[in-house]
């Protein structure tokens, strides 16, 4: 409704501009002024129609709660609908979805990787081969924040924490 009204006003303005630009003499300009008055009269009539339509929309009866309860369901719930209601999407406090949600987890942001890297550097994890504590954090294996790769400086061995040694 509003877009039609805006389109109509735009057309009126275009007609006015066209009338004024095509008129060059005083006679024709006075004629265009009469046309302007006529267009404004039409605009006022349209405003009345728009007000009446709004009043009709406002008078529409609202659906009451008891009416809704009486209406039969159009379709019975399927098993998928029931399962979908049971599994709401889980979103953590950062606004990212967790792995248990229905959509796949997004790649970690750069600041999350940096924060996790700082925490991994602070940890002292003994070497899986020689048991030495002279180990350093290298990087995350395949970008996964749960799989950090370490290097032992005693036996010069790199391994993924929590994985089997080869």
Report if residue 147 sits inside a domain: yes
Maximum C-alpha span of the chain: 105
Identify the DSSP state of 56.
H
pLDDT digits (tens, 9 = 90+) for 28-86: 556 666 777 787 888 777 776 666 666 666 665 655 555 555 555 555 566 666 666 65
Most confident of 74-78, 88-92, 94-98, 119-123: 119-123
- Kindly provide the residue ranges of all beta strands, DSSP E only, lying in 7-164, ordered along the sequence: 135-140, 148-152, 157-160
pTM: 0.29
* Residue 72, in any domain of the structure: no
What are the tokens at 158?
């790199």
Is the separation of the CB atoms in 105 and 97 below 8 Å? yes
Mean pLDDT lowest among 99-108, 138-147, 155-164:
99-108
Q: Quick check: is 92 in a domain?
A: no
Q: What confidence score (pLDDT) does residue 33 get?
A: 64
Total domains in the chain come to 2
Interatomic CA distance for residues 56 and 58, integer angstroms? 5
Given this model, what pLDDT does residue 146 score?
Answer: 66
Residue 105 confidence (pLDDT): 52
Residue 74 forms part of a structural domain: no
Check pLDDT > 80 for residue 11.
Answer: yes
Tokens representing 151? 């290097």
- Round to whole Å and give the CA distance between 59 and 157: 80
| Whether pLDDT at 98 is above 60 | no
Residue 126 lies in a domain: yes
The total of other beta-carbon atoms located within 10 Å of residue 120's CB is 19
Q: 142 φ, ψ to 5°? A: 55, 30
Full domain range(s) for residue 124: 110-160
């Amino acid at each position: 409704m509003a877009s039609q009204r805006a389109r109509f006003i735009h057309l009126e303005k275009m007609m006015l501009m066209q009338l004024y630009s095509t008129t060059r003499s005083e006679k024709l300009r006075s004629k265009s002024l009469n046309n302007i008055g006529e267009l404004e009269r039409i605009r006022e009539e349209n405003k009345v129609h728009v007000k009446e339509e709004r009043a009709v929309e406002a008078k529409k009866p609202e659906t009451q709660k008891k009416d809704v309860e009486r209406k039969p369901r159009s379709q019975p719930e399927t098993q998928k609908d029931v399962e979908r209601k049971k599994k709401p999407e889980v979103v953590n406090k950062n606004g990212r979805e967790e792995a248990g949600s229905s959509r796949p987890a997004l790649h970690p942001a750069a600041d999350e990787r940096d924060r996790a890297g700082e925490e991994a550097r602070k940890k002292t994890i003994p070497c899986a081969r020689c048991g030495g504590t002279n180990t350093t954090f290298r990087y995350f294996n395949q970008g996964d924040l749960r799989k950090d790769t370490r290097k032992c400086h005693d036996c010069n061995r790199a391994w993924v924490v929590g994985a089997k040694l080869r």
